[in-house]
């Protein structure tokens, strides 16, 4: 499901519903806590009901920042699957593993520290990796 990521048009409600399902599946693969999931999406810690909604067919918010964050998450996933095509453990463990390129922070910690810009930093780093 998430291997067929296409963020070209997530403006329709149906596409945003598919995107929500894919994001939740991605978070599951990455073994992320609810607080980390909320943080990656730029949501307040008390917004757990939003995640529940996404898990049960709700659509990702059409707000530009949310759509951009989701786009970064899908791009990160795509890069990881390209860099580690035969190693899902590495691909799915990347977000929670310490990384010397990020001053020994995990990518999750990078986003926690830098917010939206942290997602951009991770995506840019992965985009520059040889595979």
Per-residue pLDDT of the chain (131 residues; tens, 9 = 90+): 444 444 456 779 999 999 999 999 999 999 999 999 999 999 999 999 999 999 999 999 999 999 999 999 999 999 999 999 999 999 999 999 999 999 999 999 999 999 999 999 999 999 998 76
Taking the C-alpha atoms of residue 20 and residue 16, their distance in angstroms, rounded to an integer, is 6
Query: DSSP letter at 85?
Result: T
According to the model, what pLDDT value does residue 104 have?
97
According to the model, what pLDDT value does residue 121 have?
95
The residue extents of the domains of the chain are: 2-127
Taking the C-alpha atoms of residue 111 and residue 19, their distance in angstroms, rounded to an integer, is 20
According to the model, what pLDDT value does residue 129 have?
81
pTM metric for this prediction: 0.90
According to the model, what pLDDT value does residue 9 have?
64
Beta-bridged to residue 105, according to DSSP, are: 99
82: tokens are 């390209």
39: tokens are 């943080």
The continuous run of DSSP H or E covering 90 comes out as helix 88-93
């Amino acid at each position: 499901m998430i291997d067929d990521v296409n963020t070209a048009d997530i403006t329709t409600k149906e596409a945003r519903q598919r995107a929500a399902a894919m994001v939740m599946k991605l978070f599951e693969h990455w073994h992320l806590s609810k607080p980390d999931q909320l943080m990656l999406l730029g949501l307040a810690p008390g917004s757990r009901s939003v995640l529940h909604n996404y898990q049960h067919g709700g659509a990702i918010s059409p707000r530009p920042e949310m759509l951009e964050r989701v786009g970064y998450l899908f791009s990160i996933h795509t890069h990881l699957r390209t860099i580690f095509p035969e190693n899902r453990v590495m691909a799915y463990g990347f977000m929670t593993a310490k990384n010397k390129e990020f001053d020994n922070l995990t990518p999750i910690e990078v986003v926690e520290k830098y917010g939206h810009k942290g997602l951009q930093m991770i995506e840019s780093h992965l985009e520059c990796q040889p595979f």
